[in-house]
Amino acid sequence: MDNRQQLLDSALALFSQRGYDAVGVREIVEAVGVTKPTLYHYFDSKRGLLDALLQRESGHLLTEVLQAAVYHGDLVLTLENIVRAYFRIAQKASAYYRMQLTMYFSPPESEGNQAIRPFTTQQREILEDVFIRAAEDHGNLRGRHSRYAAGLLGVVNATIGLYFNDALALNEEIVYQVVHQFMYGIFS
Amino acid sequence: MDNRQQLLDSALALFSQRGYDAVGVREIVEAVGVTKPTLYHYFDSKRGLLDALLQRESGHLLTEVLQAAVYHGDLVLTLENIVRAYFRIAQKASAYYRMQLTMYFSPPESEGNQAIRPFTTQQREILEDVFIRAAEDHGNLRGRHSRYAAGLLGVVNATIGLYFNDALALNEEIVYQVVHQFMYGIFS
DNA sequence: ATGATAATATACCGATCGGTATATTTTGTC
DNA sequence: GACAAAATATACCGATCGGTATATTATCAT
């Protein structure tokens, strides 16, 4: 079963560097030092390999975000925990996060986008739930949970983008600033 | 010269729907009803076609954003103008904006990302300049222009993403809400 | 030790990839 | 109308694509 994991690792590295479409199965197997039938022994197809990869990798992200996204009345605290979780994953599993980001913004009819959609949907729903629950305490949030979830994820991903381009370090200060601006605006 | 424009149109439609890598030149020329040598008469290569396409399309976006990004002391007003400009383009040139978004988040070593980078860099710089000039009036903004520019673009693109998924209409109200939250936070 | 099964390799498939050599047609100029 | 140049087509190139038929080697339970 070791080759199976190595194939997933190889696919992750290559997909995140150059993209799903631009990487051939030949390259994936050569990086591991095996041949194509080995890959097709473990996976039905290139797409099946991608699905298995997303399954394996998104698990970590989901558990971390789910742990962080418990709301007990303090929205700022909850959002800080969520942003911290995202930053942690972007650092710890940077190859995967890069790839997820790429596939999320891939064209709707591309294989990459279709493969990632269920996982990103799940992640968005977790965030939306936080804002829905928070709206029970803060009525003026009501009905805007989609926009808030998308907006927070937008700044989080933009910030992670800066980190990926070495323009930023993802430290506690940035967590505070991102959440604080989201909650209280730019001047605070 | 009509075929040249039609080829660019065809490439734009296909690239934005399924992605640069997944679309072959064969498909592009067939959609126009010509043959490959016609394409290679006007462009050096598939990559050259992409470059010409980005050149043609990004012009419109840049002029609109540049017009909107004049700062005369009222940051809220300027940001509203910028956001309005982005929303207008996302609606008027949706295929191109989809494609630009895709390529911006494509892997750094992919052709798509390398081709789009100069244009998105230009756009980011316009936004950064606004925050730099605004910092002359509001000292507490100083030194954070990169993060602010990235953050605003992040929420703008996240909002446009909702629009692309039919979860939102890009009207005046959303312009106001996006800028207002950016400036004053979530509770306002 | 044997027999079944899982894991891997060799060598190939047809299709498509980006790109082009060559020939023909269209266009505009004198 | 002749001629050059631009525009387009036919027919092809080698390389790579995702995928597989078949054979061989490891693994492991009996």
Domains observed in chain B: 57-184 (1.10.357.10)
**CB-based contacts of B113, cutoff 8 Å, min separation 6:** B103, B104, B106, B107
pLDDT confidence of B188, banded at 50, 70, 90?
confident
pLDDT at site A73: 94
Give the nucleotide nearest to B22 (CA→C1'). Answer: C17
- Average per-residue pLDDT for chain B: 96
* Hits for CB < 7 Å against strand C across B residues 45-104: 45-47
Q: What is the pLDDT of residues A2-24, one digit of tens each?
A: 999 999 999 999 999 999 999 99
Print burial letters for A37-72: b (CB count within 10 Å at least 16), e (below 16): ebbeeebeebeebbbbbbeebbeebeebbeebbebe
The DSSP code for B79 is: H
Give the nucleotide nearest to B42 (CA→C1'). Answer: D7
| Residue A61 Cα to chain centre, angstroms | 7
pLDDT at site B187: 82
Would you say B160 and B102 are in contact if contact means Cβ atoms under 8 Å apart? no
Q: Residues B30-37: what's their mean pLDDT?
A: 97
Rounded alpha-carbon distances, angstroms, from residue B82 to B127, B130, B137, B153, B158 = 8, 10, 19, 10, 15
Q: Residue B12's closest CA among B58, B80, B75, B79? A: B58
Q: What is the pLDDT of residues A105-160, one digit of tens each?
A: 999 999 999 999 999 999 999 999 999 999 999 998 898 999 999 999 999 999 99
pLDDT at site B140: 87
A167 contacts in chain B (CB < 8 Å)? 146
CB atoms within 10 A of CB A126: 16
pLDDT confidence of A187, banded at 50, 70, 90?
confident
Write out the DSSP string of B106-159: S-TTSHHHHHHHHHHHHHHHHHHHHHHHHTTT-GGGTT-HHHHHHHHHHHHHHH
Give the C-alpha separation, A98 to A165, whole Å: 11
Q: Residue A131's closest CA among A119, A144, A118? A: A144
Give the C-alpha separation, A112 to A100, whole Å: 9
Q: Which helix (H) or strand (E) holds B63?
A: helix B46-68
The DSSP code for B23 is: -
Q: Residue A146's closest CA among B51, B176, B166? A: B166
Give the C-alpha separation, A162 to A156, whole Å: 10
The DSSP code for A79 is: H
Closest residue in A to B148 (Cα) is A186
**Cα end-to-end span (Å), chain B:** 53
* Hits for CB < 7 Å against strand D across A residues 17-46: 23-27, 35-37, 40, 45-46
Angle at B126 between CA B180 and CA B59, to 5 degrees: 115
Q: Residues B147-158: what's their mean pLDDT?
A: 96
Q: Pseudo-torsion of CA B122, B124, B126, B132, nearest 10°?
A: -140
Question: Which of B186, B187, B188 should be substituted to probe chain A, the one whose Cβ sees the most A Cβ atoms within 10 Å?
Answer: B186
Which residue's CA is nearest to the C1' of nucleotide D9? B35
pLDDT at site A80: 98
**CB-based contacts of A119, cutoff 8 Å, min separation 6:** A54, A58, A62, A100
Would you say B85 and B175 are in contact if contact means Cβ atoms under 8 Å apart? no
B150 contacts in chain A (CB < 8 Å)? 158-159, 161-162
| pLDDT reading at A188 higher than 90 | no
Q: Residues B130-140: what's their mean pLDDT?
A: 94
Q: What is the pLDDT of residues A54-97, one digit of tens each?
A: 999 999 999 999 999 999 999 999 999 999 999 999 999 999 99
Q: What is the pLDDT of residues A66-77, one digit of tens each?
A: 999 999 999 999
Q: What is the pLDDT of residues B70-120, one digit of tens each?
A: 999 999 999 999 999 999 999 999 999 999 999 999 999 999 999 999 999
| Residue A50 Cα to chain centre, angstroms | 15
Give the C-alpha separation, A102 to A106, whole Å: 6
